[in-house]
Amino acid sequence: MKKFLWALGILVLLAVISIFLLEKWLVNSLPERINAKEDRAYDLLFEEADVQLFRGSIELKDITLKPLKEDLETTITGSIKSAKLGGLNMLGFIFGKVLEIGELSFETPKFVLVRNDSISNDPADVSMAFQGFFGDIVSRGVIHNFNLREGSGEFYTQSDSLRKFGSFKGFNITAEDLETDSVRLNYAIPFKLESLHTSLENLEINMGEQQTFTLGKLNFDSKEDALDFYDLRLAYDDNVVSVAKQSAVQKDYIEIDVKHLRIEKINARSSIYGNWAIVAGLMTIDSLVLHDVRNKNKPRPVDEPQKPMFEGMVELVPFPLEVDTIRASNSTITYSQISEGKSVPGSLKFEQLSALITHAISLDSLQSGEMRIYGEAVLNGFAPMRMDVTVPYTNDPKQESFHLEASVDPFSLPSLNGILGDLVSVNINSGKMEKLEITMDATMYSSSNFMKFHYKDLKLELRDEEQQKKKLMSTLSNILISSSNVPEDNNYKTATFRTERNIYRGTFNLIWASLREGMLEIAPGNLMQLLMKEQDPPDDGKRR
């Protein structure tokens, strides 16, 4: 009996020593085995390893990332607090060449991404670099599940010196049932999988020209086929009006704020990582706030390009876009203009804005049929309006066109004084706008229009720059203008007319110019011309 116990004790001791030596051997061989893939782009170097044979797990601690390839557009370095290899096939790991892992988990990684501007400054290189990194790691064996928790990172550009241009935190990835032998480039993990959930918080990117893009949170769930963006903001470091005043040339300075943007029914042809491409059934935009400021005191750029119309605006989206329906709600768009000789801007504010856009496609090769746009808003708090636009796809910028039907609900005409402000030398004392409707058929260079403008009891008065009333001229002007235009009047008028388009201004400038000319047709007279006229620049208004 004693001999048996001795033999058993020796066997147990030998087993313990064997396990200890085997674990020691595995620890020593881990660097070579983890970095065995010949075409790998990164080495994973670690300070400490804990091997648990019976639990089938390995934990690597204090990991650093070492890129192996030179002259890349973007490189990634950094550190990982720990990497856990769970559900490990130990026999296969010890005796085989293929690493089979039930779950690979990265805890608290900190990434440093450096973009070489002498090679490329394409923003897509940033996300493609991360996709390449994750693909490189996951392809080192048969990995069934992958997790990354509480990642963070910083972005730098390398030209003459190293400059930080962005950062993020709260980066999480959960990928389940991976098929690492089947490539799929659409996601962060570029392989087929059962499900993928990705989230990111507090992304901040310096866009240059005193502009910063921030994103509060991003969330993607492949099971729901939905991508959510929260608290998007594109803003200037200084007040946007101050930026327009300090600029060397006249152009549109735009700030954007979006509370929530959601993309649903994402098609498999989409790519939400690397080279972006969005093919989806529905995009919803909640609480968009857009502010556009133009300073007319500044010279226009000599090489100013022609502005596109609705079709061209969609084609300016910097990645392929094909969305069946886009819905916007609870939104506000403000256009502010600092007129010549003035320092305080006047503004047009479209509040309570909602819009529905169908069949929005940015690529010429995919465009067919037509895009429809329907929108409603309240102008400066007093004038409800709506617009219905049909945009046929032409695939030729010179053949761009659209059909528009717009209307404005009744409002008190003196409300316009708050919009006109310093732009004109006239006050509207009384009057009511009962109907304003316009139909436009526009091409790249002009529009053919029909307009109804119904109003009653219009009375005006002129003022000089010191705001003093010119009573005699006001009386004469009210004689020259029709104080009423409704269907029951004997001299009731509608307007059929043509408007030349300023190709250096946007589509909404053409709509405003058509409204202006239509009102001049219906309510003629020197005073109305003074009321509606914009100050012409030295080129006789060709680039107004």
Going through 53-93 in order, the beta strands assigned E by DSSP cover: 57-67, 74-86
- Pick from 436, 440, 433: which is nearest to 388 by CA? 440
| Cβ-based neighbours of 132, under 8 Å, separated by 6 or more | 41
- Within-domain flag for 357: no
CA–CA gap between residue 18 and residue 3 (Å, rounded): 22
Least confident among 176-190, 260-274, 276-290, 437-451? 176-190
CA–CA gap between residue 512 and residue 478 (Å, rounded): 24
Q: Are 470 and 463 a contacting pair, CB within 8 Å?
A: yes
What integer pLDDT is reported at residue 306 of this predicted model?
A: 84
CA–CA gap between residue 82 and residue 50 (Å, rounded): 11
Within 13 Å and on the Cβ side, how many CA atoms surround 62?
4
CA–CA gap between residue 442 and residue 498 (Å, rounded): 10
What integer pLDDT is reported at residue 152 of this predicted model?
A: 94
What's the rounded mean pLDDT across residues 344-364? 87
Least confident among 195-204, 337-346, 403-412? 337-346
DSSP 368-417: -SEEEEEEEEEETTTEEEEEEEEEE--S-GGG-EEEEEEEE--EEGGGGH
Q: What is the pLDDT of residues 175-232, one digit of tens each?
A: 888 776 655 555 666 667 788 899 999 999 888 778 899 999 999 888 888 889 999 9
The pLDDT confidence band at residue 462, using thresholds 50, 70 and 90, is low
Tokens 């001999």 sit at which residue? Answer: 3
Which strand (E) or helix (H) includes residue 451? strand 446-462
Residue with the bigger pLDDT between 428 and 442: it is 442
What integer pLDDT is reported at residue 225 of this predicted model?
A: 84
- Within-domain flag for 472: yes
Domain's final residue, options 205, 223, 241:
223
Task: Name the residue type at position 285.
Answer: I
Tokens 């998007």 sit at which residue? Answer: 232
Q: Are 315 and 265 a contacting pair, CB within 8 Å?
A: no
Task: Name the residue type at position 19.
Answer: I
Q: SS3 of 140, please?
A: coil
What integer pLDDT is reported at residue 372 of this predicted model?
A: 94
> Apex CA 366: angle with CA 364 and CA 367, to 5°?
65
Domain's final residue, options 204, 223, 242:
223
pTM: 0.82
- Pick from 246, 502, 465, 461: which is nearest to 341 by CA? 465
Residue with the bigger pLDDT between 309 and 125: it is 309
Task: Report how far apart, in Å, the C-alpha atoms of 513 and of each of 349, 502, 508, 533 are.
Answer: 17, 9, 8, 10
CA–CA gap between residue 44 and residue 137 (Å, rounded): 9
What integer pLDDT is reported at residue 232 of this predicted model?
A: 92
- Within-domain flag for 7: no
What's the rounded mean pLDDT across residues 443-459? 91
CA–CA gap between residue 418 and residue 140 (Å, rounded): 67
Number of domains in the chain: 2
Residue with the bigger pLDDT between 246 and 29: it is 246
Residue 149 in tokens:
């928790």
What's the rounded mean pLDDT across residues 358-387? 87
pLDDT at 4 over 60: no
- Within-domain flag for 251: no
Least confident among 163-172, 205-214, 231-240? 205-214
- Within-domain flag for 64: yes
- Pick from 265, 249, 272, 303: which is nearest to 200 by CA? 272
Q: What is the pLDDT of residues 50-61, one digit of tens each?
A: 877 777 788 888
What integer pLDDT is reported at residue 101 of this predicted model?
A: 83
Give me the domain span that covers residue 490. 429-532
What integer pLDDT is reported at residue 201 of this predicted model?
A: 94
Work out whether the CA dihedral 407, 412, 413, 414 comes out positive or negative. Answer: negative
- Within-domain flag for 300: no
Which strand (E) or helix (H) includes residue 134? helix 124-138
Average of per-residue pLDDT values in the chain = 80
Q: What is the pLDDT of residues 7-18, one digit of tens each?
A: 555 655 555 555
Q: Are 432 and 413 a contacting pair, CB within 8 Å?
A: yes
Domain's final residue, options 193, 223, 253:
223
The pLDDT confidence band at residue 398, using thresholds 50, 70 and 90, is confident
The pLDDT confidence band at residue 534, using thresholds 50, 70 and 90, is very low
What integer pLDDT is reported at residue 419 of this predicted model?
A: 67
What integer pLDDT is reported at residue 191 of this predicted model?
A: 67
- Within-domain flag for 290: no
The pLDDT confidence band at residue 499, using thresholds 50, 70 and 90, is very high
- Pick from 310, 306, 320: which is nearest to 401 by CA? 310
pLDDT at 435 over 70: yes
What integer pLDDT is reported at residue 18 of this predicted model?
A: 53
pLDDT at 472 over 70: no
Residue with the bigger pLDDT between 542 and 25: it is 25
What integer pLDDT is reported at residue 544 of this predicted model?
A: 41
Least confident among 157-166, 233-242, 428-437? 157-166
What integer pLDDT is reported at residue 543 of this predicted model?
A: 39
- Within-domain flag for 58: yes
The pLDDT confidence band at residue 268, using thresholds 50, 70 and 90, is low
CA–CA gap between residue 437 and residue 168 (Å, rounded): 49
Residue with the bigger pLDDT between 201 and 34: it is 201
